[in-house]
Structure 1
């Protein structure tokens, strides 16, 4: 019997072998590719105390994360229930019944002629019933394997929710800091444009400038004002979104973020190891692989229905018509039962179930392979975006440096009386617009680093 119960029908699961070439965009970041020292709390690589505080709130207060953890608990309960199916069950069922026998029934017709026959009687029954299905073909074990694998998939999906929320919170925070940096520059641009318009208005009053110049200056001023409004709107939108991510009403933590702070330095996302190692620590890949394993186990669960099922049942109890005689040797009533059930013909139902299970496995395999490819795509795109942003920043910094030098020379010419104030202000506005573009790029670089952490599965304990 132990030999029979040790085997299980169906294919034993093996992780599919997938060959991937090395990432071709990771090296473009020129970052060290050593192992990440803080894979779980990857946001601490930014060394920003406000970001650390936000992430702590998100991971303890976010409602979507709480719902994901609740799904993990459900999966654990289902796995435990599947494991319990392989073990015996014991039921305790005491019973008392009171009966009045019908005189018109079969027994009543026989005994009603007996003198002093009492139609009323009571029966007392105390006992327990134990039952156990012998898992000869391993169907119950395969069902437990599937439930366990699906529970592990739910755990991975919970980790994926955690990673996504942490990355979204970091991205939102960095957008806010970028908006704040841009808003400072936008106000300087607005002030410079306002000064230029005032200058043109004065020249217009002396008939030195015409209405066309004044109208053009007004358009530039209003465009600068609209730019400030757009940046303020985006900052408010992101602040509200961040409060919701932290599980609070919008506006709860807005005061804390109104205090200006520089954008944090860009950390170095780490992608050491081979692509297969990197991608297999991503929560979505883990969840897909575990669901593939569950689909494999479901094949064995379906195949087990081809084999006979043996169940054992035993009952120990006492039965008596009198409470005084209940727990006595004559009242003792043991029962043992063995049953065999073997499906002989079912119009192809089992075959259909097996085919469906194999089809589900084929679907899960294709889904797993596609998930791996999409994960590789995410890594390549994220690191390419980061490398391109860094190149754009380097170019823009040279541009800002040149414009700063040009603005200084223009201002010197103005103070020397060889250049009009209009030209000096225009050079300053051009410089401020370039600085605004640079501030936007720096925020984009930080956000690209966050996307790299997300693509690498950072935030999940491997």
Structure 2
């Protein structure tokens, strides 16, 4: 039996605390990011840097009305209440009570029989008024460590709520950018379809005049039908993103109060905002702040478990009045008082305490491993997002050059076809190549904007660490 350590602890009552105080874990990270993308200063409303009023309204509505955000805020309120209750456990408790009762003694009971023999009244009223106080002395820090755990849980819940807000804002942003990208691609296809219709009209006129074979007309009509067939999937995808945005903003799908079905250009992707120093980033990303606070809470709960090795001392007292009549209730004769102390010690239960301490330490080790894993995942997300943004910008530059060259090639092919120097196949090939390049350029611009949002999200958005 492990009695000696407990006796030693009892002999050194003062100055002992359960477990060790929490120390923030060290994080070894590189000094800079590896991708050549500038990082702007952090901005709480980072989405406004895209310069799109519709997007501003959309994100702010999502942050105000999204049900996941509402649920996260409710979890913060719960954690705040638990933290408040844990702090109250360190203070004395005072209860005030009053009662009044009417009693008639049975003659078949000892008290009633004695009262009858002594000619005492069987019926009486008893009135009591008083207060009772109790106070558990936190000699070994168990209650203090419990308060630390609750406060750390509250900080973790607050950081998790910020992480949810960041996630919802980024998800709304992602859906909006996908919507604008799809609308841009739809406009490209519609424009190309109109061009094909003009070409079909020209070929039809030439076929009617016997200048070209009828198969060339059918070839153009087939190409036009193929381009037209790509519009329904785009319309379905556009509707899906609008419905997704309705859901993210807490509305019924199909409501579209912002008239998102009206096409607008994809906003330009600004530089991401956040900390330019990786170690600072890891201290301010809300999900990492939450993970680190969970480590602190687990450490404090280990201290709570260790406190059960030592005795728990509580003081209690009672001061009040009791009388069988209201007239003499608040008199010296009716005064009653008591005081005392109670000792609770799991002296012969150290095997179970050992198991509880081992479990708490295992949970602390698990939380620490999860925190370190979250840090590594965060570095991967940041580096990948920055590289993705840099490479997408490079792709946009090359795609613009490609579209410029292919536009000239298409125009020259049509001029050659009109002059009889080139065949219809050459024209259709030039149109097809230009359509594909223009479509990829629109997709690349939307991808660059999404990459910027992904970088902002990986860098922690605009939320700072809460104290």
TM-score of the superposed pair, with normalisation by structure 1: 0.92
Give the deviation of 1:262 after TM superposition.
Answer: 1.6
- Secondary structure, in 3 states, of the residue corresponding to 2:146? helix
Looking at structure 2, the residues matched to 66 and 369 of structure 1 have their Cα atoms a distance apart, in angstroms, of 29
In structure 1, the partner of 2:436 is 433
- Secondary structure, in 3 states, of the residue corresponding to 2:463? coil
In structure 2, the partner of 1:151 is 154
Measured against aligned partners, the alpha-carbon deviations of 1:266-321 in whole angstroms (never above 9, x if no partner) come to 10114554211112211110000000000000011001111111111111110001
In structure 2, the partner of 1:391 is 394
In structure 2, the partner of 1:247 is 250
Task: Single out whichever of 233-242 and 197-206 deviates more from structure 2.
Answer: 197-206
Measured against aligned partners, the alpha-carbon deviations of 1:318-375 in whole angstroms (never above 9, x if no partner) come to 0001111101111111111211122210261111110000000010010000000000
In structure 2, the partner of 1:291 is 294
User: Contact 1:196/1:422 (CA < 8 Å) preserved in 2?
Assistant: no
- Secondary structure, in 3 states, of the residue corresponding to 2:336? coil
Looking at structure 2, the residues matched to 450 and 13 of structure 1 have their Cα atoms a distance apart, in angstroms, of 35
User: Contact 2:132/2:316 (CA < 8 Å) preserved in 1?
Assistant: yes
| Alignment match of 1:21 (pick from 30, 33, 38) | 30
In structure 2, the partner of 1:137 is 140
User: Contact 1:197/1:214 (CA < 8 Å) preserved in 2?
Assistant: yes
- Secondary structure, in 3 states, of the residue corresponding to 2:259? helix
In structure 1, the partner of 2:41 is 35
Give aligned pairs, total: 454
- Secondary structure, in 3 states, of the residue corresponding to 1:103? coil
Task: Single out whichever of 371-380 and 428-437 deviates more from structure 2.
Answer: 428-437
* Cα RMSD after superposing both structures: 2.4
Structural mapping, 1:164-313, within 5 Å: 164-196=167-199, 209=213, 217=220, 219-253=222-256, 256-270=259-273, 272-313=275-316
| Alpha-carbon distance change, 457 to 271 in structure 1, aligned in 2, over 3 angstroms | closer
TM-score of the superposed pair, with normalisation by structure 2: 0.91
Measured against aligned partners, the alpha-carbon deviations of 1:130-188 in whole angstroms (never above 9, x if no partner) come to 11111111101101100100010000000000000000111111111111111111112
- Secondary structure, in 3 states, of the residue corresponding to 1:278? helix
Looking at structure 1, the residues matched to 354 and 429 of structure 2 have their Cα atoms a distance apart, in angstroms, of 80
Looking at structure 1, the residues matched to 394 and 309 of structure 2 have their Cα atoms a distance apart, in angstroms, of 64
| Alpha-carbon distance change, 225 to 238 in structure 1, aligned in 2, over 3 angstroms | same
In structure 1, the partner of 2:5 is none
| Alpha-carbon distance change, 357 to 216 in structure 1, aligned in 2, over 3 angstroms | farther
| Alpha-carbon distance change, 351 to 8 in structure 1, aligned in 2, over 3 angstroms | same
Looking at structure 2, the residues matched to 348 and 417 of structure 1 have their Cα atoms a distance apart, in angstroms, of 98
| Alignment match of 1:52 (pick from 53, 56, 62) | 56
Looking at structure 1, the residues matched to 116 and 217 of structure 2 have their Cα atoms a distance apart, in angstroms, of 121
- Secondary structure, in 3 states, of the residue corresponding to 1:20? coil
